[in-house]
Amino acid sequence: MKKNFIGKSILSIAAISLTVSTFAGESHAQTKNVEAAKKYDQYQTNFKKQVNKKVVDAQKAVNFFKRTRTVATHRKAQRAVNLIHFQHSYEKKKLQRQIDLVLKYNTLK
């Protein structure tokens, strides 16, 4: 009788713990998905801001190169243009064309 009672109590404890751990795992997974979605949204907005910032920085570098026409500013402008993301390929080509025109018609100091 005592063995029977101990066996049943162990079985019931195991069943309860299995149920509790299943529900806890599901609730954790649901909150984790919400957190992952928030992080992804933040990543998207930050990524767009970074890409736009690189385009603006490249435009500033190219304009500075057009004014000064030195080797150092050419390197900075070229590096800035190379860092532009492929989504802004039109801007990248336009800035590269401006650099090429400066190199073609002017001598560097």
Give the range among 1-5, 37-41, 54-58, 59-63 with minimum mean pLDDT: 1-5
The pTM score is 0.60
Instruction: Examine the pLDDT at 29 and tell me if it is beyond 60.
Output: no
For residue 63, what pLDDT is reported?
94
How would residue 61 be classed by pLDDT, with cut points 50, 70 and 90?
very high
Q: Which residue has the higher pLDDT, 10 or 78?
A: 78
**Domains of the chain, start order:** 2-105 (1.10.10.1270)
Question: What is the spatial distance between Cα 2 and Cα 34, in angstroms, rounded to a whole number?
Answer: 48
Query: On the CB side of 96, how many CA atoms lie within 13 Å of its CA?
Result: 11
Q: Which two tokens stand for residue 66?
A: 């057009």
Q: What is the DSSP letter of 70?
A: -
Average pLDDT over residues 57-83: 93
Tokens coding 106:
């002017």
